[in-house]
Amino acid sequence: MATLDLNNVTTFIQLRPLAIGGALVMGLLYVIYLRALPKPLPGIPYDVESSRRLLGDLPHFFALEKSGRRIMEFWADVARRQRSPITQYFAGPFTKPVVIISDFRETKDLLMRRAKLLDHGSLNTGLWFGAIPHHFVGMPSSDPRYPKAKSLSNDLMTPSFLHNVSLPASYQKTLNFVNLWQLKARIANEQPFTALEDFNFLTGDIICAAALGILDEESDTVKHYNRLKTNNLSTGHPTKSNQVYPFPEYKATGILEATHTIADSITGARTASMPKLYWFFTNLRPSVSKAQKERTRILQTYIDRARDTVAKSGLSTSYRAAVDYIVSREIAAAKKESRLPALSSPEIHDSLFGYVLGGQSTTHSVLSFMIRRMAVRQDVQTKLRKELYTLYSSAASEKRNPTIHEFLAMHAPYLDAVIEETMRLNSTAPVLIREAMEDLDFLGRTIPKGTNIFCTLWGPSYDEPAIEVDEEVRSKSSQAHKEETPVDWTHSGFPPADFHPERWLRKDGKGNTVFDIKNGPTLGFGAGPRECWGKRLAYHELKLITTLLLWNFDFLPLPADLVDTDVVDFFVAKPKSCFVRLRSRVPEVQKK
């Protein structure tokens, strides 16, 4: 038997210190390399090549960008490539695999009926906590701070608060916008102009009116209008309908400007594999820290204004905006607990800022996608206007705008359908994110506890045929609700990729045409306990704006080079361009 000669070993160590050191370093590096490599979850399909490299699937993101496609296409692409409604991907060294699910019916079942098995997800909270750390959007539901943070906004989305406070405020701001466009329509004289920035002012105004009660003189729409009025611009010409009218640029100010800078910083967090590190450096950037300071300063002025109103008129229920409600509640709570009201608390600030941040870009996105289609789909525009003229027949015969009360009392099924169809084909978010709180049985595979789950919102089963799934592997609750499965449109007269609002309509028992959200796959606002908190407000505002814009303007066809279907991804998805060529339908609307 060979024996180890310690003398030889010692001599070797003395003579070859470099070789040994090198071998040890190499060994260590190899162990680190092995630990950094992706660790695929058993039984869930994945890209084998990606599993063999440190960067995992990241090269696929780079390839998408290089080929001019959106990197947000990635997740639906994985499902398509693997031909599986459940897949996984690897986001880089030392990260856990993320599961992707791409089946509408099972996603809805998981988010709504199996929600107890889920939480918000570390990748979800990682998006937000650096920007609004005290808002519930950046907290898992299991966070002890979550119930209190959420309770600050209780009641703000109730039908009565929306009808009595938020929507009347938004209505007035939309009329201001109609005035701006009446002026622009007159100047451009049927020449096209871009609507994207204008829509920022409009959605900024309506959200800030609902959240903060901004006054007209604080509105970017009104400031823009006043500046244009004094600009003495030459009138465009209808024969130049293929030339964009060069309106002078007007940039967002105040809270909207700060919101955009902070929203941009969240965009970067979406692809950061180490969110804490990302936020540490991002919040040090001068532009971001300036925007954070600015939003705090501006919000405090609205909080102080609300406090003064309460001091003058007492704790009242006649609020003008969300800030009045939040401030009144804090004052009442402080009184009860014999303490001073904490009116500068980060909780109150983030609660208000979350309202603006969550509401502005998203509403802007859907609105711009919808209006972009109006020029191309003259048939949809005509049908929609016909519905509005039938519903608001008194306003039509009296040649005035529908009032807010008329609007709130009306159901416009075709309008609902146009909004839903826009959101189905142009989702503002690329995916919904959750985390498995325990080992989760999903379509016959196991998603381990602690895994982040990305639910796609387009691709298979949304705007293209679903990937086939055996009924038996679906969850029990999914099987029990089989009758809720939406119609398969693949072989219908209107395939899933087409824009066809009628697919959301059906006849009710009395033969009336009604909008039915269950007709098709749609999760644009998410679902379950963490679905969009502002969904009701968003639907109302989109309906309100579309009604007043179609009432007041014809969206004329555009020259071919101003029509595109491109999408760019910021904080949320936006159309790359949105031009309008307007013809006024009624004389300039009076403000009151």
Assigned token pair, 588: 């300039």
Say whether residue 363 binds ligand HEM (CB under 6 A). Answer: yes
CA distance 495 to 503: 10
Q: Does 354 bind ligand HEM (CB under 6 A)?
A: yes
Tell whether residue 40 is a contact of ligand HEM (CB under 6 A): no
Smallest gap, in angstroms, from Cβ of residue 92 to ligand HEM? 23
Count of H-run helices and E-run strands, the chain: 23, 15
Beta strands in 413-572 (DSSP E): 431-436, 440-442, 445-447, 452-456, 505-507, 513-515, 553-555, 567-569
Candidates 201, 533, 571, 579; binder of ligand HEM (CB under 6 A) is 533
Angle between helix 413-425 and helix 346-376 axes, rounded to 10 deg = 100
Q: Which of residues 562-581 bind ligand HEM (CB under 6 A)?
A: none
> Of the candidates 522, 524, 525, 545, which has an alpha carbon nearest to the alpha carbon of residue 534?
525
For residue 154, give the nearest of 527, 533, 536 by alpha carbon. Answer: 533
- Whole-angstrom CA distances from 586 to 224, 407, 415, 486 are 21, 18, 21, 41
Beta carbon of residue 18, minimum distance to ligand HEM (angstroms, whole number): 55
Its sign, for the CA torsion 521, 357, 131, 56, is positive
Nearer Cβ to ligand HEM (120/500): 120
Is there binding between residue 359 and ligand HEM (CB under 6 A)?
A: yes
CB 490 → ligand HEM: shortest distance, Å? 25
Q: Is 429 in the site for ligand HEM (CB under 6 A)?
A: yes
**Number of CB atoms found within 10 A of residue 232's CB:** 6
Q: Which listed range, 23-31, 226-234, 425-433, 507-515, lies at the site for ligand HEM (CB under 6 A)?
A: 425-433
Q: Shortest gap between Cβ of 457 and ligand HEM (angstroms)? A: 8
Q: Tell which one of 252, 524, 540, 582 touches ligand HEM (CB under 6 A).
A: 524
Buried b (16+ CB within 10 A) or exposed e, 404-442: beebbeeebbbbbbbbbbbbbbbbbbbbbbbbbbeebeb
- Residue environment code for 16-33, b if the CB has 16+ CB neighbours within 10 A, otherwise e: eeeeeeeeeeeeeeeeee
532 marked among binding-site residues = yes
**Judged by CB under 6 A, which stretch of 16-24, 80-88, 304-312, 356-364 contacts ligand HEM?**
356-364
If binding is defined by CB under 6 A, does position 537 make contact with ligand HEM?
yes
Displacement of CA 588 from its chain's centroid (Å): 33
**In this complex, which beta carbon is closest to ligand HEM, that of residue 429 or of residue 447?**
429
Which is closer to ligand HEM, CB of 213 or CB of 358? 358
Residue 530 in the binding site for ligand HEM (CB under 6 A): yes
Residue 430 near ligand HEM by CB under 6 A: no
| Residue among 200 and 363 whose Cβ is closer to ligand HEM | 363
The closest residue (CB) to ligand HEM is 526
Q: CB of 358: closest distance to ligand HEM in angstroms?
A: 3
Binding span for ligand HEM by CB under 6 A among 309-317, 324-332, 508-516, 523-531:
523-531
Token pair recorded at residue 498: 């087409």
Which of 524, 500, 570, 533 has its CA nearest to residue 427? 524
Compute the least distance from the CB of residue 525 to ligand HEM, in Å. 5
Is residue 428 near ligand HEM by the rule CB under 6 A?
yes
What span, in angstroms and rounded, lies between the C-alpha atoms of 539 and 515? 13
Report the 10 Å Cβ neighbour count for 331.
Answer: 18
Residues annotated within the binding site for heme are 532
Residues annotated within the binding site are 532
The site for ligand HEM (CB under 6 A) is made up of 136-137, 354-355, 358-359, 362-363, 366, 428-429, 432, 524-527, 530-534, 537-538
